Amino acid sequence: MKNLIKCALVPLTVLGMQSCSGLRTSENKTPESEYSSTNAMTTPSADTTASGATSGRDITVSSTAQTDTVTADLFIHQAAISGMKEIEASKIAQQKAVDSKLKAFSAMMVADHSKVGAELMTLAKSKNVTLNDNAATAPLANTTSNTGNASATAAADTTLILTREDVNTAVAQLTPLTGNKFDGIYAAMMVQDHQNAIMLFERASRSSDKDVKAFAVKHLPALRSHLSQITEISRATSVK
């Protein structure tokens, strides 16, 4: 398991989705609503944007939020597991996606998040954060950072939403799917994950830890670009 986590850490990313019309399943559900219900997550509001998305799993970010809304420990763990989810899902999409743009996007996800994950591992080592089996299988409630504090941890607890089980669930959901249905569910998953990732990184960009802040600020533009691209692909995919 430890080796799997180290390999999968090369990801990043993290979380939210936008509703798209079209592409109905045999149960008359959109891929977005099916992904949402399968993962017990509610659909975000229609005015969700790349720079300030809302998600259905208790993550709320105020425009006037103070610094240290997420600790270094918490950010590193959640970013690692989130990246793991995106890489594992995208590896499947590289093999099964029908839409050529979606297939190319999945390849970009594996490459980009692998690079970010390598940087994340370096950050983790510099903060003495150990990414172990427990970190990948259980929520990180009450985790404190070497540079964080109790109040910051309490404020950040609502971001504790990803576990190794979420990665397993995503893989299990995508594996049996084929054709346009696979494309719709994978695209919806990527929209949601990137919206949530942006929220996590925006919180980290307000950290008083200069290294965490710099890491988040550096990678936010790419996350927003990814969200913009997958949103457009998702819209095109949904009308097929």
pLDDT digit string, tens, across residues 143-198: 333 334 434 443 444 445 788 899 999 999 999 999 999 999 999 999 999 999 99
The CATH class of 2-9+31-42+67-238 is: mainly alpha
> Which pTM was predicted?
0.67
pLDDT digit string, tens, across residues 6-30: 444 444 443 333 333 333 334 445 5
What's the one-letter identity of residue 124?
Answer: A
10: left (phi over 0), alpha (psi -120 to 50) or beta: alpha
**C-alpha count within 13 angstroms, C-beta hemisphere, residue 83:** 31
The domain locations on the chain are 2-9+31-42+67-238
Q: Rounded to 10 degrees, what is the CA torsion of 39, 176, 182, 102? A: 100
DSSP notation for 1-53: -HHHHHHHTS---------------TTS--HHHHHHHHTT-PPPPTT--TTS-
